[in-house]
Amino acid sequence: MNISAIAIQCLKEALCNIYWYKNDLKSFLMNCISNKSIFLKVNWTDAKRKIASDVVDSLLEDREKNLGDIRRLFNEVSKMNTFNHLEHLEDGASKVLKARNAVLALKEEISKNDASIKKIRQESEKKRMEYEKLVKSNAFLVKLDEIKTNYYQLTSRTDAQQRGFELEKIMYDLFDLFDLDPKASFRNVGEQLDGAFTLEGTDYLFEAKWKKKSIDASDLDAFVGKINRKLDNTLGLFLSINGFSSDAIAIHSRGRSSLILMDGYDLVSVLENQVDLKNLIIRKRRHASQTGNIFYRFKEY
């Protein structure tokens, strides 16, 4: 517990003024403080200022152990707003005013102290979040670099089928890295899907092809059929490393399409950390919605 030296001094000053008789002060302190061993160090015949100072200093010697008592003492003193017990004394009005001013000074200092603690905590939390962001960012870049290395290693593969399986795994890891809640390859009756993911509450089916030639309209026809057999709000993302034929793009850009396209250049741009995968997909979807063109290339940004 961080307590300013001024707040501690204000507490001692208030304790000296809220009660005129030492027995009243003793009774108040005994009721506030549960750790009675504190009072073993107090000489009740001393002056009130010495008694108040000794009690507070004893509590502060072990702040962790006496945290509850310290807080209670600050709270109870700062809540005092009536001083009828002082009014009947000689020069009572002056004593009441002095006690009230001492309590107000304590309240003001507690408020400043709390604001200072809050600021320190906020700065500490900000530093913690920045550190976690940095660690996460570094971990993100390490993982992205690992996925990129795995992808580039595939370029030398000659087994097309095995390369396709490995590409699915790479894309799963990439979707997972960007928190897209990926689902691995699955099979429905009579059809194979390379996977699925979710972005901004929308479910996407995913298909990837790594053919020597660009994808033609028949491949997109088959994928759109799979999409149409799902719920109405389902969309599809088709990745073709070697792109798409102009006819395929033109045919499927007519009317209302549930499909967006991605090529090897787009993928490499993500792997090289030139563009965020989420932003890439969102921009492709928005472009398709606004223009009807389902293939918005990253290099056209």
Task: Provide the pLDDT for residue 163.
Answer: 86
Task: Provide the pLDDT for residue 185.
Answer: 64
- Which residues are CB-neighbours of 61 under 8 A, at least 6 positions away? none
Co-location of 258 and 168 in the same domain: yes
**Per-residue pLDDT at 14 exceeds 70:** yes
What band does 188 get if pLDDT is binned at 50, 70 and 90? very low
Of the three residues 120, 146, 165, the one that is the final residue of a domain is: 120
Co-location of 284 and 235 in the same domain: yes
What's the rounded Cα separation, in Å, for the pair 21 and 14?
Answer: 14
Residue 199 lies in a domain: yes
Of the three residues 99, 120, 141, the one that is the final residue of a domain is: 120
Q: What is each CA distance from 71 to 43, 64, 124, 272, in whole angstroms? A: 23, 11, 23, 55
Helix axes 22-32, 5-18, angle to 10 degrees: 130
Co-location of 116 and 160 in the same domain: no
The answer to whether the Cα torsion of 243, 246, 247, 250 is positive or negative is: positive
Task: Provide the pLDDT for residue 119.
Answer: 83
Co-location of 100 and 233 in the same domain: no
**pTM for the full predicted model:** 0.56
State the average pLDDT over residues 181-204. Answer: 71
State the average pLDDT over residues 10-30. Answer: 93
Co-location of 195 and 282 in the same domain: yes
Residue 79 lies in a domain: yes
What is the number of domains present in the chain? 2
Residue 270 lies in a domain: yes
Of 71-85, 97-111, 244-258, least confident by mean pLDDT is 244-258
What's the rounded Cα separation, in Å, for the pair 244 and 229?
Answer: 23
Which domain, by its residues, includes 166?
155-300
Task: Provide the pLDDT for residue 168.
Answer: 87
Task: Provide the pLDDT for residue 131.
Answer: 66
Of 12-16, 101-105, 191-195, least confident by mean pLDDT is 191-195
The closest of 226, 201, 218 to 285, measured between CA atoms, is: 201
Co-location of 160 and 228 in the same domain: yes
Task: Provide the pLDDT for residue 59.
Answer: 92
Enumerate the H helices of the chain as residue ranges: 5-18, 22-32, 48-61, 67-79, 84-87, 92-154, 160-177, 217-228, 246-252, 264-271, 277-291
Of the three residues 120, 142, 166, the one that is the final residue of a domain is: 120
Co-location of 296 and 161 in the same domain: yes
Residue 271 lies in a domain: yes
State the average pLDDT over residues 9-14. Answer: 94
SS3 205: strand
Residue 73 lies in a domain: yes
What share of the chain in percent tops pLDDT 70?
94
Task: Provide the pLDDT for residue 129.
Answer: 82
CATH number at residue 168: 3.40.1350.10
Co-location of 280 and 159 in the same domain: yes
State the average pLDDT over residues 211-228. Answer: 89
Residue 206 lies in a domain: yes
What band does 121 get if pLDDT is binned at 50, 70 and 90? confident
Co-location of 164 and 263 in the same domain: yes
Co-location of 283 and 180 in the same domain: yes
**Per-residue pLDDT at 186 exceeds 60:** no
Co-location of 161 and 224 in the same domain: yes
Residue 127 lies in a domain: no
Task: Provide the pLDDT for residue 268.
Answer: 95
What band does 243 get if pLDDT is binned at 50, 70 and 90? very high
Residue 149 lies in a domain: no
The closest of 214, 207, 236, 232 to 294, measured between CA atoms, is: 236
Co-location of 172 and 293 in the same domain: yes
What's the rounded Cα separation, in Å, for the pair 110 and 78?
Answer: 9
